[in-house]
Every structure is written in C-alpha cells, then in structure tokens.
Chains A and B, each alone.
Chain A
Amino acid sequence: MSEDKDRGGFFDTGWRPSGDVHRDEDGRPHDHPGVREDVGLGVRASRALAMHELLVEKGVIGEGEVDEMTEAVNKRVPSNGATLVAKAWSDPEFRTKLLEHPKETVIESGFVPEHNADIIVLENTPEVQHMVVCTLCSCYPTQLLGPPPDWYKSFSYRSRAVTEPRAVMSEFGLELDEETEVRVVDSNSELRFLVIPRRPDGTDGWSEGQLATLVNRNSMIGVAAATEPGTD
C-alpha cells in the first residue's frame, strides 16, 4: 500500500486512517520529519482520528466506510446537473420527463438524491426566470450541483434574493426585461430545486457534451444565464 493512498480524505486534514499513524512503542505518535501526514495534526484532526478509530473498533462503522462516503461526496459536482440540462436542451422527450418526473429521471440518470429528498426541476424561459434560495438555511441539490457556494449560504444572499432578486441577478451579470416574470423559489421543505437555464442562441447542432460546457452552476441556481458560446 502506498504511503500516499489515503491523503486528502476525511475533512482534508491530511490525517491517515487507523493503523497508518506512526506511533512509538508506548503509543505516542512519533515524529517523522518531512512526512506531510504527521505535520500539523491539529486538535480537531486528532479528535476526528481518535473518533474514527473508536467507531471502527466498536464496529459502529466499517473500516473503509468514511473513505467511501468521502468518495461519494467528491462525486457531487455541478457537471452532474449540467449533463441533465444539456440532455434536456437536446432531447425534448427527456426534457418533458425531467420536468414531469424529476426524481425518477434524476435517479435513472445515475444520481442519488441526498437524504432521499425530492427534486423539482424548473425551466427558465423568456417569460419566466426561476431563482432558488433557501432563506432559512442552505438547502441545495448537492448531488447535482456539488456543495453550495459560500455566497448561497450568506445572510446577504438569503435576504436579498427575496427582497431584490433582480438586483442580485444583475450582480451575477444577468439583466432581465421587466416583462420577464421573476419567481423566487424559497427552498424550505424536503425538496431540492434544479433550474434549467435558457439555451443560448447560436448553439444549433451542438452535441450534448458541447452544450454541457455552457451550463454553469449559477445558471442552475437561476441567478445567472448559461454561458454564451465563445465567452468562457
């Protein structure tokens, strides 16, 4: 087993799972100058390590369970949502299915909703712009968009999104016509919302893979437009 195998796991603290920590015969971790893993093992990391060892020892969790979970969390990235949006742009049948049976379609597409939360998919059009916020906390479709960005969790966004949504969108570079109706969606229940942004002009004949590169994270929250071709 390589010395580096477990680097960057649990909390990214640089600690290594049970059994890999170098200890003296009396049980104290010993110095290993130049070995990154043993440098800067702070109070929290030490505590997490001790907890992990105990939980494994007592059989509460399996040896590799935390690593598996970490791996699963790392697979939650905005390109998951972008894949769905690009497919919905390209395939009208899939678009209808995604809008009408969102959870089933998301699961069929290989994504597992966290906490078994329901998914609602909302489509932006020239007439309607949906924009998602969680005023109470930070509810977010992490399996499709990855962890929420800091601004999404900020007090500022959570209050301004409901009181001046157009001003917020404008700061994200999106200027809407007054005729476009804004629907702010406050995500306060056991549901997560994914927004399908408007497909940019000049993308006729693009493949799903090409289209997906235009589907940025913010456009799937509804605060911004999809990326214009040739501007990324």
Chain B
Amino acid sequence: MSAAAAPKLEFSQGDRVHVKDMTPPNHHRTPWYIKGRRGVVLEFIGMYVNSETRAHGDSGMPELPMYRVEFEQTHLWFDYAESPSDKLWIDLYEHWLERAE
C-alpha cells in the first residue's frame, strides 16, 4: 500500500455493491464464487499494485483502490446449512465492483 495522496474513491463504507460477473482472459484474483453476488463495502483498505497486470510482466502501476467487502454466506451458497449470521470477507479492486440498488 502506498502513502500517496487520497485518491478519488467510487465507493464508501456501507455501500451495497455487486461483483461484476466477468471472466477476463488475464490473471485475476476475484474467485468465481463471488462473481455476480451482492455484498456491502466494509472499508476502503488502500491503494494496491494491480496484480492483474503485474502477473503478465507489467509493473502493476498505477495502484488501484481496494475495498474489503462483506457477503452473507447464505447469499453465496443457496444450500448454506450453518448459521444465517455467517459472513465472508474478501478484498476487491474497485473495477470489480458496481453499485447495487
């Protein structure tokens, strides 16, 4: 994470978001099970090197905003049989998120 000046952020704490349901041909670190799912932004966690371009020999710059997003386990797995209060946390780049109603 860099200590650069505060970036312009698309999302803030409490925003409801969808994870884009896309499968770009390049390396990416958004697992399939949250694609297309709805979550809530917990916090902006900082600016991070773009692992999607760095994986292909690029410098990974510029750094991109990353958010910690919370999902209801019962929204991720239709047959989730444990507790309805259970959550999943994952960190996602801004370009994977879109605003949900």
Q: A-side interface residues toward B, CB under 8 Å?
A: 118, 135-136, 162-167, 178-186, 188-191
A188 and B68 alpha carbons, distance in the complex (Å): 11
Contact of A188 among B1, B45, B49, B90 (CB under 8 A): B90
Given A118-B1, A162-B76, A163-B77, also A189-B82 (CB < 8 A): no
Query: What chain B residues lie within 8 Å of A185 (beta carbons)?
Result: 88-90
From residue A164, how far is it (CB to closest CB) to chain B in Å? 6
Query: What chain A residues lie within 8 Å of B51 (beta carbons)?
Result: 189-190
Query: What chain B residues lie within 8 Å of A166 (beta carbons)?
Result: 82-83, 86
SS of A interface (majority): mixed
25 A–B contact pairs at CB < 8 A?
A: A135-B31, A136-B29, A162-B33, A162-B88, A163-B77, A165-B73, A165-B82, A165-B86, A166-B82, A178-B83, A181-B86, A181-B87, A182-B87, A183-B88, A184-B86, A184-B87, A184-B88, A184-B89, A185-B89, A188-B30, A189-B51, A190-B49, A190-B51, A191-B45, A191-B91
A214 and B76 alpha carbons, distance in the complex (Å): 35
Let me know if B86 and A189 touch, CB within 8 A. no
Which B residues from 57 to 86 make CB contacts under 8 A with A? Answer: 66, 70, 73, 76-77, 80-83, 85-86
Instruction: Mark B23-51 against chain A: 1 for CB-CB distance below 8 A, else 0.
Output: 00000011101000000000001101101
